[in-house]
Every structure is written in structure tokens, then in C-alpha cells.
Structure 1
Amino acid sequence: MDKKRLEQLLEEIQSGKTSVEEGVRALEDLPYKELGYATIDNHRELRNGYPEVIYCQGKTPEQVQGIVKYMMSQGNNILATRAGKEMYRKVREVCNHAHYNELGRTITIINHEPETTESYIAIVAAGTSDLPVVEEAYETALILGNQVEKITDVGVAGLHRLMSKMDRIRGAKVVVVIAGMEGALASVIGGMVDKPVIAVPTSVGYGANFGGLAALLAMLNSCASGVSVVNIDNGFGAAYNASIINKL
């Protein structure tokens, strides 16, 4: 139950439209709901400003469907990450307006339009191979109520491409930089903007990239000030943090 629904319920009880007994039954699932295979945090939005997000990896399609079905009853916007096609098909059985981003492996369900910021988040990616992480970050930032600018394929192998996009990047309130290989793009941008930079190392690269570890260590050791780093391929985590900054 989100904050708006809770306020509405209290008004209904005060006006007599809803009895106290009915109100108590509606509040029985606070602060969480046990589904047997999952415990859904109903107070997440009240505490943190955003409802709980479904991490689908390791769950069955039926479990994802059950979680979505319950969350739909609470009226929240819903984001599911690392979701496969079969999970999406099961979710569509209970919500025909669910949207699937196949590249980003996200399912989004908009039950009410979020209030959108005037400022925007820039999501900047080194190469086309980084686009799955870009799309996860993009869908996350959108559903959390942010304007977003995507700037892709501007890696350090051709800095002239990046320089032509610097006005758009500098105009953002916060910049998410996504890069694999040696992960140098975060340091380059960090030295050229006066905004927070959230770096996302990706698992893109040849053997010595070690599945993103080389990019992660390079970003952690960046000599550019203002660069913070999230985990490998964690587009969701970067966009979530960027959203908090963008709404300050």
C-alpha cells in the first residue's frame, strides 16, 4: 500500500465510507505480505520514496507472476529486472499493459504516471555492447520519474565522438557512465563535468577484462574527483542512485 492509498483509506474511514473493521482488514498486510516464496515489503515506498523492485534472476516465472499480481493489487508502479521472456509472458496473463524491454531484460508496469523531474539524468555508454546495461538503467530511471538522455557509443577509442556530445552531458544533474573493456570513459567524463558521475563497469571485454573486474578496478582507482562506482553490470543500482541525486 503506497502513501496515497493509505491517505485515501484514512479519509474514507473518517468520512464513514469505509468502516473501521474494513479499514483494519485493508491494513492487515502492513508492513509486509507473506506469499510463501517471497515476503513483499509494503512500507518500502513510505520509507524510501520508491516501491520495492522485483529482482527476477533465480525466481521461477510463476513466482514472478505471483509477486506482480499482489503488487498490482496495491496500485504501485512495478519494475522487474533481469526478467526473461517466459517471465514476461506469465506477467502478461495478470497485467496486459506490462511492457518488456528485451535488451535490458526489464518489465515495467505503469499504474499511475510518476511525477517527472525538470532536470535530467544523462546515461552515457562507451559502446554498443554495453546497451543491455544502458537499457536496464534507462527503464529504471524512467519509472522512478526522471527525464533521461541516452548518449551511446562514445568510448575513448574515438574521443571526437564524445566531445560532440559534451553539451548534453554537462546539462544533466547527474551522469551515469557505462563502460566495459578498461573502463576509462568514467575517468574522462569525470574530469570534464561539474556533476556527480556514477560509473558502471560492464562485463564486456576480452580475457584480461575478467568479466568486468578490470573495468571495476579502473573505475575504483579513477584519478577524477566526483566518480563513484556500482557493481559490475548494475545498471539498476546506478539509475536508482542517480534518481535520488536528481530529485534532491
Structure 2
Amino acid sequence: MDNITIKKLLTKVKKGDITIENALQSFKELPYKDLGFAKVDTHRTIRCGFPEVIFCAGKTPEQVLKIAGQIIKHGSDLLATRANKEIYKCISQQYKNARYNEKAGTIVIKKSRSKKKKGLILIVTAGTSDIPVAEEARETAEIMGNNVKVLYDAGVAGIHRLLSNQNDIMTANVIIVIAGMEGALASVVGGMVARPVIGVPTSIGYGTSFGGVTPLLAMLNSCAANVTVVNIDNGFGAAYVASLINSTK
């Protein structure tokens, strides 16, 4: 159900054309657009506060374009993740305001007016190699209406780089810590603050990093009680949860 339909229903309630109970029943419906290859959830903004996000991996440019068309048609902002240049080229031919972040692999199309942004989410990476995951997190957090700051390349091998940014660390509502190798940075940051810390293990590291399994297990076993963890390289998931926490704050 899109914003236009909601406004029409509310107008009918005002005029007395339908009852409040009937209008509420309409809101409870879970409509979607069946494209054959995808069922686009047009009701997600109402249920969850943010529209469906397109995960582009494994989809053709044409499929992504058709899904994007349905999301935009219902008046929603668009966020597509894990998008390559070919997909962006296809999208940008139809939507000139599409913006591509090559490092993040994200495509953003803003439809709604910018609202007042919520309190600070800080994104910290252990190394420069973790930046692509951090950029995915940044793009996600920003389109969801958060103030975002980034602190890149501040790992425990040179911990003074982290400690020299204590003001941002102490004032952030939520901190996303992104690290590969042994993933120790999440525990260090968790021990510094009385804030939720979301650890994102990355697939960056040498052989026994096992494609991110080592930092994943390290973060899951963190002795800092305020650290929680998302899956390997999941910058999007970390930022989505961080935004929900930030809204509560």
C-alpha cells in the first residue's frame, strides 16, 4: 500500500465514507507486486519504516530495473546493494538521479524530502581494506536518515589512532566496528563506551582468517558485553540495526 492510497483512505474516513475499522483492515493487508521472477514488497515501509532494499547479487540488470521501478512507483527511496557497474548503467539510463558508490557497490535514488537527521552513528574500520564494507554501512545509515561519521584505518596495531578520536567515540549513539584479521577492534571499542557496538567481521586477512571466520568467532566471543555481531561483510545489516537503535535513542 503506497502513500497515495493511505491518504485516500484517510480522506474517506474523514468524510465518513468508510469506518475506521474498515480502514484499519486495509492497512493490515500485505500487498506485493508479482513480477514473476520477484514479488516486490510494497507494504514494507508501513510495517518496518523503510522500503524493500534490492540485493543485486545474482540478479540481471533488467531484473533490478523492474524491481526498482515498483519501489520508486510507490514513492519510496531506493537503496540497492552489491550492485556492479553494469547494473548501475542500466538503472541510470532510466533514473538520471541515481547515484552509484563504486566502493560500496550501492545505488541510491532519493525520492522523499530530506528529514531532520537522527543522532550520531559512528563507523570505525580497523584497516583501509575494510572500507568497502564500511561504505555500504555508511550509505545505508545515511539514506535511513542518520547523522553518520566515519573513522577509517584505526585498528589495534596502532591504537593511538583510535584513542585520538575519543570525542566522536564517546558521543555516538551507536558504533559500528568493521574489522578483518583477528577482529580485536570490536572488543576494544566495546570496552571504551556505554553504547551498543555492532561488530562486522570482514573477509580481509591472511590464510587462517578463513575468509572472515576468525574475526567472526573473535567478535562473537568478545568479553565486552555491549558488543553484538552481524555476518561477515554485512555492512548493510549492521547499519540497518544501528539505525533502529538510533531511532529509539
TM-score normalized with structure 2 length: 0.90
Gapped regions of structure 1 (runs ≥ 5) = 17-26
Query: Partner amino acid for 2:229?
Result: V
Tell me the equivalent position of 2:8.
9
- 1:213-235 Cα distance to aligned partner (Å, 9 max, x none): 00000000001110000000000
**Matches of 1:100 and 1:59, distance apart in 2:** 17
Q: Is the 8 A contact 1:203 1:232 kept in 2?
A: yes
Q: Is the 8 A contact 1:130 1:180 kept in 2?
A: yes
Query: Partner amino acid for 1:239?
Result: A
**Residues paired across the two proteins, number:** 236
Tell me the equivalent position of 1:110.
110
Tell me the equivalent position of 2:201.
201
**Matches of 1:60 and 1:118, distance apart in 2:** 35
- 1:78 Cα shift? 0.6
Tell me the equivalent position of 1:52.
52
Query: Partner amino acid for 2:115?
Result: E
Query: Partner amino acid for 2:4?
Result: R
Query: Partner amino acid for 2:8?
Result: L
Query: Partner amino acid for 2:85?
Result: K
CA RMSD, aligned part only? 1.7
| Cα 1:36/1:245, change in 2 over 3 Å | same
**Matches of 2:5 and 2:142, distance apart in 1:** 24
- 1:155-177 Cα distance to aligned partner (Å, 9 max, x none): 00001110001110111100000
- 1:72 Cα shift? 1.6
2:45 is equivalent to residue 66 of structure 1: no
Q: Is the 8 A contact 1:178 1:186 kept in 2?
A: yes
- 1:6-33 Cα distance to aligned partner (Å, 9 max, x none): 33222565799xxxxxxxxxx9x96110
Q: Is the 8 A contact 2:118 2:145 kept in 1?
A: no
Gapped regions of structure 2 (runs ≥ 5) = 16-26
Tell me the equivalent position of 1:159.
159
**Matches of 2:243 and 2:116, distance apart in 1:** 11
- For 1:69-84, list aligned pairs within 5 A: 69-84=69-84
- 1:114-167 Cα distance to aligned partner (Å, 9 max, x none): 424341100111110001000000000011111101111100000111000111
- For 1:127-146, list aligned pairs within 5 A: 127-146=127-146
- 1:43 Cα shift? 1.2
- 1:73 Cα shift? 1.1
**Matches of 1:197 and 1:14, distance apart in 2:** 44
- 1:16-53 Cα distance to aligned partner (Å, 9 max, x none): 9xxxxxxxxxx9x9611001110011111111111110
Identity score, percent? 56
- For 1:90-129, list aligned pairs within 5 A: 90-129=90-129
Q: Is the 8 A contact 1:114 1:144 kept in 2?
A: no
- For 1:166-205, list aligned pairs within 5 A: 166-205=166-205
| Cα 1:244/1:15, change in 2 over 3 Å | closer
**Matches of 1:156 and 1:116, distance apart in 2:** 35
**Matches of 2:198 and 2:103, distance apart in 1:** 21
- 1:98 Cα shift? 0.6
Query: Partner amino acid for 1:218?
Result: A
- 1:110 Cα shift? 0.2
Q: Is the 8 A contact 1:200 1:234 kept in 2?
A: yes
Q: What secondary structure sits across from 1:119 in the alignment?
A: strand
TM-score normalized with structure 1 length: 0.91
